[in-house]
Amino acid sequence: MIFESHAHYDDEKFNEDRELLLASMKEKGVEYIINVGASLRSTKETIALTERYPFIYGAVGVHPSHTGELNEERFAWLEEQCRQPGIVAVGEIGLDYYWDEPEREIQKKWFRRQLLLAEKEKLPVIIHSRDAAQDTFHIMQDMKCENIGGVIHCFSYAKEMAEKFLDMGFYLGIGGVVTFQNAKTVKEVVNYAPLDRILLETDSPYLAPVPFRGKRNSSLNLPLIAEEIAKIKKTDYDKVIEETNKNARKLFHID
């Protein structure tokens, strides 16, 4: 069955039908979901989702674009949340230079702090990195991330960068972008990366695959992503589902 490694079901775009949608996951073949925190508020809502649904696990963390809200007191709260049952990762954390705010030094400071937190709590990390490949990699190298482990979510860099993150022991999160016709770089990366280092993800409600591009995304679209990966790697659809499930369980320590 399908393992969804990255979604945001706390998002207000799911307010109207969240219960109904999540209740349909099992029968549609989605076995587990990681709901990923991106701010203090969504971390709180992620924990509530893990308490309500036994098949939802959570990641707690603050996305680089929201690091402006962090201070020592709030960080101490975040640290406590790592010990909630059902929390399996720290994320999404990283660097996002597509946006000018918050300034880069603030993003870097809290990226490092959250990496340290993950190391201390013995949790893998979910990395968000946009237009910041070199800085992300250098900080991860400096922080010895090979001992922490994790996934580069929505991997969008070139093959050369993929090689470096794979060498560090990281997984690559592949989502709807791989189905876009002009996504040559991601298709190349999928062809290059071994299947035992790929995770399936949607980043719902964002990044819906073709033919739903621009619409609200959900984990029910994961078969479209798995089909594309199978096509690129010239392998079976079932094998992609099975292997990526195995990879995610291993990374997030879910039996």
Residues at the interface with Ni ion (CB under 5 A): 203
- Whether the Cβ atoms of residue 116 and residue 143 lie closer than 8 Å to each other: yes
Rounded to the nearest whole angstrom, what is the least distance from the CB of residue 65 to Ni ion in the complex? 11
User: Which CB sits closer to Ni ion, 129 or 247?
Assistant: 129
- The full 3-state SS of the chain, as one line of letters, equals CEEEEEECCCCHHHCCCHHHHHHCCHHHCEEEEEEECCCHHHHHHHHHHHHHCCCEEEEECCCHHHHHHCCHHHHHHHHHHCCCCCEEEEEEEEEECCCCCCCHHHHHHHHHHHHHHHHHHCCCEEEEEECCHHHHHHHHHHCCHHHCCEEECCCCCCHHHHHHHHHCCCEEEECHHHHCCCCHHHHHHHHHCCHHHEEECCCECCCCCCCCCCCCCCHHHHHHHHHHHHHHCCCCHHHHHHHHHHHHHHHHCCC
User: Which CB sits closer to Ni ion, 130 or 233?
Assistant: 130
Distance CA 126, CA 171 (A): 10
Rounded to the nearest whole angstrom, what is the least distance from the CB of residue 5 to Ni ion in the complex? 10
Rounded to the nearest whole angstrom, what is the least distance from the CB of residue 87 to Ni ion in the complex? 16
Rounded to the nearest whole angstrom, what is the least distance from the CB of residue 94 to Ni ion in the complex? 10
User: Which CB sits closer to Ni ion, 96 or 203?
Assistant: 203
User: Which CB sits closer to Ni ion, 67 or 141?
Assistant: 67
User: Which CB sits closer to Ni ion, 203 or 228?
Assistant: 203
Residue nearest to Ni ion (CB): 203
User: Which CB sits closer to Ni ion, 45 or 203?
Assistant: 203
Distance CA 108, CA 118 (A): 15
Rounded to the nearest whole angstrom, what is the least distance from the CB of residue 36 to Ni ion in the complex? 5
- Whether the Cβ atoms of residue 133 and residue 161 lie closer than 8 Å to each other: yes
Rounded to the nearest whole angstrom, what is the least distance from the CB of residue 6 to Ni ion in the complex? 6
In this structure, what token pair is assigned to residue 226?
């798995």
Rounded to the nearest whole angstrom, what is the least distance from the CB of residue 7 to Ni ion in the complex? 8
User: Which CB sits closer to Ni ion, 183 or 230?
Assistant: 183
